[in-house]
Structure 1
Amino acid sequence: MNTRERFQAVLNFEKPDRLPVIEWAPWWHLTLENWRKQGLPAGFDTVGLQEHFGLDLMVQSWVRPTNARTPEVPHGSPLVRDLAEYEQLRASRAVHDLDAVDFEPFERYREQHERGDAVFWFTLDGFFWFPRNLFGIENHLYAFYDQPELMKRLNQDQLEFNLKVLDCIFDRYEPEFMSFAEDMSYNHGSMISEELFDEFLLPYYREIIPVLRKHNVKVFLDSDGDITGSVSWFERAGIDGIFPLERQAGVDVARLRREHPKFLLLGGYDKMVMDKGEEAIEREFARLLPTARQSGFLVSCDHQTPPAVTLDDYALYLKAFREFAAEACR
């Protein structure tokens, strides 16, 4: 099987010849700085690193509503505080400018994708993520109560932008899956209630997901933290799966599979054991094996590889991963 066939088999709960050996997230820059001191050649981009390590290629295009005209503010700080400031941002074409969108990673690897040697996936800002980036972290959580109509206006505009982006994508490419960036959970669960989800996010998901279904694209939600209690919300919205399934936040993939047997999983491998030696690395893969054998589970490091992991540690991890990928399909 080629790379695309393996992914499609797992995404359809079928059995491939082996599991894909992947990294869904770019490596942490601090990790790469350490690895270069340990002998990693410089100059690789994310896909180049995948090729260097012999991974199955995942090529991502993240289509953001912001662009080069968007003012820079410290992480978590507000870009807008009210409708007037938002309208000013829109008028300056600093958000939702379709002319600023490009799919350079897809263009660069189109040939590999057509051969079956790479999968394409794209990311759109979701309906928790987009207003949070505009309001800032704290103001966003107040805005559900203090500025509900503006919240809905933001998400209606984001929906319309995302639908236009889908037209551009599906005119040119056939991605295997996509994700909505949300990050709406932390290590004790969701940052909003189910009632807020139903009012402020669900209506927009129910409009866009049928469009994705028409193109046979599997839909993932990207949220860090403990997403266990909110998976049923995402299922009601029509979402097919979730990542990164962070072990440190208490996410248990076996429990998720028992409670949501047709929900796709991506990630799940506890990044905190990767520097603990060969036995610990293999033990973590053994923990995931029963769930992986059921298919519908793209195993990967649950988030960016920590800087404590050396190149030698990572070589041990990849060796164990390749053995696990074969064992899961026997």
Structure 2
Amino acid sequence: MNTRERTLAVFNYQNYDQMPVVHFGYWTELLAKWHKEGHLTADEAEFYFDKNEYDKIICDKLGFDFCWGHQLTPKHKVHPFFEKKILETHPNGVIRYINPDGLIEETDPNTTTIPATIGTLMTGREAWEELYKPRLQSGPARHGTPGELARWKQLSEETTDAPFGVYAGSMFGYARDMIGVEALSYLQVDDEDLFIEIIDTVANLSFETVKAVLEAGLRVDFLHFWEDICFKNGPLINPATFEKYVAPHYKKITDMAKAHGVNLFSVDSDGLIDKLIPAWFANGVNIMFPIEVGTWDASIAPWREKYGRELRGVGGVRKSVLGEDRAAIDAEIERIKPLVDLGGYIPCPDHRISLEATWDNVRYYADRMRATFCR
């Protein structure tokens, strides 16, 4: 069996000979560290990106089969991007700027933390109509020209070293990226009609983009959505609001994709996602990722008990053990054995491998996973 066949066998509860050994990328600081240690070339460390040539090289060096971010990625965000513009530089080096999505952010170049959102160019109906809505329309610039679609079709047919996924965009996360959590929360109350129009526009762009790709005849194994709309205490949106205004767009896309033979639909959302799972699951999403163990011990086990075998998962491996020792890695693999036995689940470090991980530990992890879950 090849990696694609193994992955699909796991998700479809079929026999397989080897569990795929999967990751979801690395912190850039970790790659720089590994370059200094002599494990990676300068190009591998600097130019790595999910699914590019350097991803494959690093996978082979470490012993991974593929990255879960290995997907065809049409353009779903604002297009063209806003010009990044520095608005202010503080004496301590902190920079305030407009980012490509139209958010006003502050960041300290000497740290690796997520930038702080200060404001947004999306200040109301007028800004929406003038600055944003024209940047969220479908077309070949999004889903590819006929020539590009033909090349992607060939690539989909030739891909065997990973399942062939298509990135299906975001129903809410991109709206958050354009407006910010706080401003978008107020907008739901202050101008509900505009809030609904923004969600509908962003989601419809994703629908039209995915539709064009599928109608081009690509052999697609799964669709993957991105949201990142939860944190350690739960969702960044009221679950009832999500279910009413956002979730139906998932069903529209998953129903359309099912008509093209696609039966696997993955969503990436960090944090404690339990209160949003019912809406995702009811509207066709059946793979949860990355199942962050975090401080709340997320696991596929209680979800499987509640939703049954139709709910699948990728992730759920405590990545912190990659910075500890081999005994910790062995213990973590023993912990997930019963989860693998449930079927429909592929273990993966629960987000991008972070700075504390050592090269030898990650290689050991990949080797132990391959040896442990070989049938």
What is the TM-score with the length of structure 2 in the denominator? 0.79
The residue matched to 1:119 in structure 2 has which SS?
Answer: coil
Instruction: Note if 1:320 corresponds to 2:365.
Output: no
Q: Is 1:264 aligned to 2:312, yes or no?
A: yes
Identity %: 24
Query: Given the alignment, which residue of 335, 357, 360 partners 1:287?
Result: 335
CA spacing shift, 1:112–1:125, aligned 2, 3 Å: closer
Please state how far the C-alpha of 1:33 moved relative to its aligned partner. Answer: 0.8
Q: How does 1:105-254 map to 2 (within 5 A)?
A: 107=151, 111=155, 114=158, 116-170=160-214, 171-217=216-262, 218-250=264-296, 251-254=298-301
Question: Counterpart amino acid of 1:213?
Answer: K
Query: C-alpha separation between the residues in 2 aligned to 1:325 and 1:113?
Result: 28
User: 5 Å matches for 1:25-174?
Assistant: 25-39=24-38, 40-44=40-44, 45=48, 46=50, 47-48=55-56, 49-58=58-67, 59-63=70-74, 64-72=76-84, 73=99, 74=105, 75=115, 76=117, 77-90=119-132, 93-101=134-142, 107=151, 111=155, 114=158, 116-170=160-214, 171-174=216-219
Q: More displaced, 157-166 or 108-117?
A: 108-117
What is the alpha-carbon distance in structure 2 between the residues aligned to residue 177 and residue 268 of structure 1?
20
What is the CA-CA distance between 1:128 and the residue it aligns to? 1.6
CA contact (8 A) 1:264 1:297 kept: yes
Tell me the secondary structure at the aligned position of residue 122 of structure 1. strand
- The secondary structure found in structure 2 opposite 1:245 is coil
Q: CA deviation at 1:201?
A: 0.7
Structure 1 residues 207 and 167 mapped into 2: Cα distance closer, same or farther (>3 Å)? closer
How far is 1:206 from its partner?
2.5
Distance 1:105 1:37 in 2: 40
Deviations 1:211-249 (A, max 9, x none): 122223311121100112332222122211211100014
Amino acid aligned to 1:257: R
List gaps (5 residues or longer) in structure 1.
none
Q: Secondary structure at the match of 1:179?
A: strand
> 8 Å contact 1:15–1:295 — kept in the other structure?
no
SS at match of 2:73: strand
Helix, strand or coil at the partner of 2:168: strand
Q: Distance in 1 between matches of 2:160 and 2:171?
A: 32
Displacement after TM superposition at 1:52 (Å): 3.6
RMSD: 2.4
Which runs of 5 or more structure 2 residues have no equivalent in the other structure?
Answer: 85-98, 100-104, 106-114
CA deviation map 1:51-103 (0-9, x unaligned): 44342235223333223433442354424121211111246x43335333367
Give per-residue Cα distances to partners, 1:160-214, cap 9 Å, x unaligned: 2112211332114222112211112111122222211122212222322201222
Change (3 A) 1:2 1:301: same
Q: Give 1:195's aligned amino acid.
A: A
Q: CA offset at residue 289 of structure 1?
A: 0.9
Do the aligned partners of 1:159 and 1:208 also contact (CA within 8 Å) in 2?
no
**Following the alignment from structure 1 to structure 2, what is the Cα–Cα distance between the partners of residues 85 and 97?**
20
* Separation in structure 1 between the aligned mates of residue 22 and residue 153 of structure 2, nearest angstrom: 17
Q: 1:184 to 1:118 in 2, by over 3 A?
A: same
SS in 2 for 1:228: coil
Residues 10-45 of structure 1, C-alpha deviation per residue, up to 9 Å, x if partnerless?
12122311111111x221111111111111223233
Letter in 2 for 1:256: W
Aligned residues between the structures: 325
Distance 1:20 1:9 in 2: 10
Q: How does 1:14-33 map to 2 (within 5 A)?
A: 14-23=14-23, 25-33=24-32
Q: Structure 2: which amino acid aligns with 1:287?
A: R
Q: Is the 8 A contact 1:257 1:291 kept in 2?
A: no
Distance 1:320 1:295 in 2: 19
The 2-side partners of 1:105 and 1:302 are apart by 33
Alpha-carbon spacing, 1:234–1:167, altered in 2? closer, same or farther (3 Å): closer
Q: Which structure has the larger Rg?
A: 2
TM-score normalised according to structure 1 size:
0.89
